Amino acid sequence: MPNQVSNGYLIVRTTASGGAIPVENSHVAVMSSAADAELLYQLTTDNSGLTQPVALPAPAIAESVSPGQPTPFYEYTVQITHPDYEQVVVTGVQMFPGITAVLPVNMIPARPHETEPRQVYDGSKQLPLSDGEEVK
Partner 1 sequence: MPEPFVPETITVHLGRPDEPAENVTIPFPDYIKNVASSEIYPTWPESAIRANIYAQVSFALNRIYTEWYRSRGYPFDITNSTAYDQAFVFGRDIFDNIGSIVDELFNEYVVRGASVEPLFTQYCNGTTVTCEGLSQWGTVPLAEQGYSPYEILTHFYGDELSIRTAPVRAPFESYPGIPLRLGTSSNEVRTLQLRLNRISANYPAIPKVTVNGIFDQDTENAVRAFQRIFQLTEDGIVGKETWYRIQYVFASVKRLAELNSEGLSLEDVSLQYTEQLSEGMTGTPVRILQYMLAVVGAYYPEVPYLSNIDGVFGPQTRDAVIAFQRLRGLTPDGIVGRETWNALYNTYITIYQNQQEYFGGGIPLYPGTNLLLGSRGDAVTQLQRMINELATVYPEIPTLPETGFYGEMTRDAVIAAQNLFGLEPTGITNYLTWITIAQQAETIMTGRQTAPTQYPGTPVGPEGGGTNA
45 touches partner 1 (CB under 8 A): no
Give me Rg for the CA atoms of the chain.
16
Report phi then psi at 63, rounded to 5.
Answer: -70, -15
Single residue of 34, 42, 98, 118 touching partner 1 by CB under 8 A:
98
Q: What is the DSSP letter of 34?
A: S
CA-wise closest residue to 41 among 89, 77, 82: 77
Contact window for partner 1 (CB under 8 A) among 26-34, 35-43, 95-103: 95-103
Choice from 51, 56, 73, 77 touching partner 1 (CB under 8 A)? 73
Amino acid in the structure at residue 67: P
| Among 30, 31, 56, 101, interactor with partner 1 by CB under 8 A | 101
Strand partners, 78: 30, 90
Q: Catalog residues that contact partner 1 under the rule CB under 8 A.
A: 10-11, 16-22, 46-48, 50, 61, 64-68, 72-73, 84-85, 90, 92-94, 96-106, 108-112, 119, 121-123, 125-126, 128-136
